Amino acid sequence: MTNAALIEELKTLVEPGKVLTDAPSLEAYGKDWTKHFAPAPSAIVFPKSIEQVQAIVRWANQHKVALVPSGGRTGLSAAAVAANGEVVVAFDYMNQILEFNEFDRTVVCQPGVITEQLQNFAEEKGLYYPVDFASAGSSQIGGNIGTNAGGIKVIRYGMTRNWVAGMKVVTGAGDLLELNRDLIKNATGYDMRQLFIGAEGTLGFVVEATMRLDRAPKNLTAMVLGSPDLDSIMPVLHAFQSKLDLTAFEFFSDKAMAKVLARGDVPAPFETDCPFYALLEFEAASEEIANDALATFEHCVEQGWVLDGVMSQSEQQLQNLWKLREYISETISHWTPYKNDISVTVSKVPAFLHDIDAIVESNYPDFEVVWFGHIGDGNLHLNILKPDNLSKDEFFAKCATVNKWVFETVQKYNGSISAEHGVGMTKRDYLGYSRSEPEIAVMRAIKAVFDPNGIMNPGKIFN
Amino acid sequence: MTNAALIEELKTLVEPGKVLTDAPSLEAYGKDWTKHFAPAPSAIVFPKSIEQVQAIVRWANQHKVALVPSGGRTGLSAAAVAANGEVVVAFDYMNQILEFNEFDRTVVCQPGVITEQLQNFAEEKGLYYPVDFASAGSSQIGGNIGTNAGGIKVIRYGMTRNWVAGMKVVTGAGDLLELNRDLIKNATGYDMRQLFIGAEGTLGFVVEATMRLDRAPKNLTAMVLGSPDLDSIMPVLHAFQSKLDLTAFEFFSDKAMAKVLARGDVPAPFETDCPFYALLEFEAASEEIANDALATFEHCVEQGWVLDGVMSQSEQQLQNLWKLREYISETISHWTPYKNDISVTVSKVPAFLHDIDAIVESNYPDFEVVWFGHIGDGNLHLNILKPDNLSKDEFFAKCATVNKWVFETVQKYNGSISAEHGVGMTKRDYLGYSRSEPEIAVMRAIKAVFDPNGIMNPGKIFN
């Protein structure tokens, strides 16, 4: 069958107008937020039901057509990029919240429900969907599950994994599986729901997900603390974690702070200049908790771990303190930074970070390194800014060398080359730094179980 | 090779004296807490290191010898029973806590570490291992992981799954895999750690596990509430869950309460007789929280959902209230009960329980049904007491019919035939009530990936 005939057949499987092949659509739906791979899909198909998804997968198996899932297209690892003539399956028209149960605190979502849509729905019900990150306004639940999205509240609430009560998936073989049936306790064999979470669409498509909600947080309160060195951040985390249930523990360097303050639209938290800052958040549900927080702060100052600090006294102050952290990424994008999202266990963060700093410093003394991240989860965002006197090409050529050093150091510390952004195509060739050969071999074999013809997002995670 | 020659070869793989073939050992190590299958292993082997485990698995592959893992042997599904000449691999000599990290709050455990040993270790460090259940004094961490053990604190802390930061496993193929490297965030492909949790030893052996700890709970406080009917328990749960972070929400019927009070060693919580009771627990970390709890209690009384109640004012009272729930299982064992451990989503509990009651009542009006369980998780323990005028054989013959009705009702409510005890051999033939044919086919294929020769605990979960 010719390519054109295939697309005509595909059109019969969905509603009229729900297969697009025009150039702007192919360009828009063929990529995510990464820029390394040129989008080149052969068509975009928009199913409106589980049955249509199954029909598409059966069709793809019959004709050995590769499929790429597409959600909010905010991914950062090129897992949702179609660069090789694949058919993109976009879930934009499966975007409804189907059901809410107040006793189970669950919401049945179609995969195209936007993260923010679920967050707002929860809020209307007096509840809370706690997975939150910069792209929550565009990212979709199906994509969140595919990448096991994390973000800024993981220290308290965990990743997306923790909030998936159950899901329906269409496997690469076209089977519809109802995984876990939304139960809290279910000891009936392998929990395959867990395999699909973080599988980046390589095993099948998530076609429905039941998400759990939590009670709404009470009186969220933030502190920004300045520390004399990175090593001090660890005992600070430890001291606060022993006393409070932290909802966030972020960190950023003086360089990150300086860039954000230079914007002129965010007030400085305090006067003292410090090389490192921590932003922590907790529910000040009672006066005792607020007092515990202040006492812990004073203890940290006495120990010399903290030089200065501030605690939010209002919703407005809370927002302003968060801006110090949340504006970093956007602010430094001006310097076209080399970015890497990596993790180690929390206790190894200082040594790991010193190692990377020393490597970059000794090899590229002109490079400005900006660190920030979810240090309470061991998740660091490494950013190296392009010096003005280097062209983009020269800069990125040098960064390719940096990549190798970073991953070697990750391996030395037994860490992860991708903390929360996934592997996709951008880190595929580096997977061996974090997963052993037998592990990768097993992953390939598991893929073959669910996707015998290799049609589901091929070339992502591994080749 | 003869069986005797095989055992001689096995002896060369471990330390002297660490292979047992005497009848009492075969009897003791060949079974768990279930009584349905007669133990008949051919030998018991006690490895002391990961290398020895790998050597045993390679030997088993070479000679196609089936292996059965053995931990604390407290399982309730015959998952650790060796009834067919298998070699039992017992982890009693791999029982050390190897490492503690205060910043990561993690403990590296050998698989034979007893649950209580980990709980006590955590307490010594001012921390808390929150997975707790009746057999914590004997069960081992490796077995807890194999069955994804739950228990009485799941509503707040989740199952064992939530506390496994990483683990080392020896697969059925003999490969040593280091899964997840103890990271909080790790988006590098399929999370195979999750597959081994709850796999009942059918994919490989857990040979080391890094367990997370939590901060110690503050001022745990319990309430026992009496309700006029089961339907009232749901809004009570909902009301409390909206206000408090519950650490437990258990329920039991008047019949369960009556049996425990008849022992004479536990005080009645209050005078009012009620058909159903709830025991809930929370951290009364501040006066505000205790006041919230009392206000919610009053609200529930006003609504008619609660007839009477009591709140613990001391550690002693807390323990006494818990005895009302914890003594049930032991107390009713006198009536050699038919037992079943099942779950549905929380909101379906009342309708489900009414259905089962009606079926048993209409078919066997002489049977006394005792309900209790973790209702906050949708996990019900159904117990039917043997009428005095029936022989054991007659009673269990009738219960075989009950089994079918129970599982059909579970299926009708899309629930689980095994909430937390696992499938093992006891529920193997009923798996189809909770998992579809394509799901079971995929499980078999996944097993074949990790265990190509089918030597790892064969005949458990599925045949």
Give the model confidence (pLDDT) of A337-349 as tens digits. 999 999 999 999 9
Question: Could you give the angle at which helices B254-262 and B315-326 cross, rounded to 10 degrees?
Answer: 110
> Do the Cβ atoms of B143 and B75 come closer than 8 Å?
yes
Residues from chain B that touch A414, judged by Cβ atoms under 8 A, are 181-182
Tens of pLDDT, residue by residue over B378-427, are 999 999 999 999 999 999 899 989 999 999 999 999 999 999 999 999 99
A140 domain residue, yes or no: yes
- B310 and B253 assigned to the same domain: yes
Question: Which residue in chain B has the smallest CA separation from A414?
Answer: B181
- Co-location of A395 and A304 in the same domain: no
Residue B36 has pLDDT above 90, yes or no: no
Three-state SS string over A130-174 comes to CCCCCCCCCCEHHHHHHHCCCCCCHHHHCCHHHHEEEEEEEECCC
Which of B177, B234, B288 has its CB closest to that of A286?
B288
Query: What's the pLDDT score for residue B3?
Result: 87
Nearest CB neighbour to A435, from listed B162, B188, B417: B188
β-bridge partners, B456: B67
In a domain, B450, yes or no: no
CATH number for the domain spanning B273: value is 3.30.70.2190
Query: In this structure, what is the dihedral angle of CA atoms B38, B42, B48, B54, given to the nearest 10 degrees?
Result: -110
Q: Say if the Cβ atoms of A185 and B126 lie within 8 Å.
A: no
What is the percent of chain A where pLDDT is above 90? 95
H/E element, B9: helix B3-11
Res A400: pLDDT: 87
Compute CA distances A437 → A409, A442, B314, whole Å. Answer: 19, 9, 55
Q: Are residues A168 and A154 in the same domain?
A: yes
Who contacts A451 (Cβ-Cβ below 8 Å, separation ≥6)? A171, A172, A173, A202, A203, A204
Q: Do A178 and A200 lie in a common domain?
A: yes
- pLDDT score at B381: 94
- Residue from B108, B155, B190 to probe the interface with A (highest A Cβ count within 10 Å): B190
Q: How many angstroms separate the CA of residue B213 from the nearest CA in chain A?
A: 11
Partner residue opposite A188 with nearest CB, options B102, B195, B435: B435
> Looking at the partner chain, which of A159, A184, A418 has a beta carbon nearest the beta carbon of B188?
A418
- Residues constituting chain A: 463
Q: Could you tell me how far CA B360 lies from the centroid of its own chain?
A: 26
Establish if B460 belongs to a structural domain: no
Averaged pLDDT score across all residues of chain B: 96
- What is the per-residue burial (b if ≥16 Cβ within 10 Å, else e) of A47-84? bbebebbbbbbebbbebebbbbbbbbbbbbbbbbbbbe
* HSE-CB of A394 using CA atoms within 13 angstroms: 8
- Do B32 and B79 belong together in one domain? yes
Domain residues for B10? Answer: 3-90
Residue A149 contacts residue A420 (beta carbons within 8 Å): yes
Residues A301 and A361 in one domain: no
Write down the pLDDT at residue B1.
74
ipTM of the complex: 0.96
In a domain, B456, yes or no: no
Q: How many CB pairs under 8 A join A and B?
A: 251
Q: Is the pLDDT at B58 greater than 80, yes or no?
A: yes
> Domain end: B215, B238, B266, which one?
B215
Nearest residue to B115 (alpha-carbon basis) of B90, B83, B81, B150: B150
Cβ-Cβ contacts under 8 Å, B104 against chain A:
345-347
The chain A residue lying nearest B440, using CA atoms, is A189
Q: What mean pLDDT is predicted for residues B140-147?
A: 98
List average pLDDT for each run of 10 residues in chain A, which is 463 residues long: 92 98 97 92 98 98 98 95 98 98 97 98 98 95 97 95 98 98 98 98 98 96 97 95 95 95 95 96 93 97 98 96 95 92 97 95 92 95 94 91 94 97 96 98 98 98 94
CATH number at residue A380: 3.30.70.2740
Per-residue model confidence (pLDDT) at position B78? 96
Domain harbouring A162, CATH code: 3.30.465.10
B154, B175, B450 ranked by CB distance to A184: nearest:
B154
Question: Residues of A with CB below 8 A from B442's CB?
Answer: 171, 175, 177, 192, 449-450
Cβ-Cβ contacts under 8 Å, A237 against chain B? 103
Which helix (H) or strand (E) segment is B85 a member of? none
Q: From chain A, pick out residues whose CB is under 8 angstroms from the CB of B238.
A: 102-103
Q: Closest-CA residue in chain A for B169?
A: A439
**Chain B hits for A443, Cβ within 8 Å:** 189-190, 192
In one-letter notation, the amino acid at residue B164 is: V
Residues A232 and A317 in one domain: yes
Contacts of B241 in chain A (CB under 8 A): 105, 215
CB contact under 8 Å between A189 and B431, yes or no, is yes
Instruction: Give per-residue pLDDT as tens, B80-91.
Output: 999 999 999 999
Rounded CA separation B150/B206 (Å): 18
A228 in the same domain as A273: yes
8 Å CB contact of A188 and B434: yes
Same domain, B227 and B124: no
Name chain A contacts of B126, Cβ cutoff 8 Å.
242
B381: three-class secondary structure by DSSP? strand
Residues of A in contact with B144 (CB under 8 A): none
Using the 8-state DSSP alphabet, how is residue B416 labeled? Answer: B
CA distance B373 to chain A (A): 12
DSSP string over A368-394: EEEEEEEGGGTEEEEEEEPPTTS-HHH
Instruction: Band the pLDDT of B18: cuts 50, 70, 90.
Output: very high
* Domain boundary pick from B153, B184, B215: B215
Q: Got the DSSP string for B87-141?
A: EEEE-TT---EEEEETTTTEEEE-TT-BHHHHHHHHHHTTEE-----TTTTT-BH
Contacts of B421 in chain A (CB under 8 A): 187
Of B103, B181, B378, the CB nearest to A347: B103
CA distance B42 to chain A (A): 27
Residue-level length of chain B? 463
What pLDDT shows up at residue B35? 82
Between B176, B186, B343, which is nearest A186 by CB? B343
Q: Are residues B203 and B111 in the same domain?
A: yes
* Cβ–Cβ below 8 Å for B343 and A286: no
Q: For residue A39, give every residue at least 6 positions away whose Cβ sits within 8 Å of its Cβ, in sequence order, or none.
A: A26, A27, A29, A30, A31, A81, A82, A83
Number of structural domains found in chain B: 4
Same-domain check for residues A190 and A276: no
Choose among A104, A186, A442: nearest Cβ to B419: A186
Q: Is residue A37 part of a domain?
A: no
Whether B37 and B128 map to the same domain: the answer is no
Distance to chain B for A191, nearest Cα, Å: 6
Mutate to test the interface with B, among A133, A184, A344 (most CBs of B within 10 A): A184
Contact A443 B147 (CB under 8 A): no
Nearest to A185 among B185, B379, B414 (CB): B379
The domain boundary, picked from A181, A215, A249, lies at A215
Taking contacts as CB-CB distances below 8 angstroms, the residues of chain A near B418 are 186-188
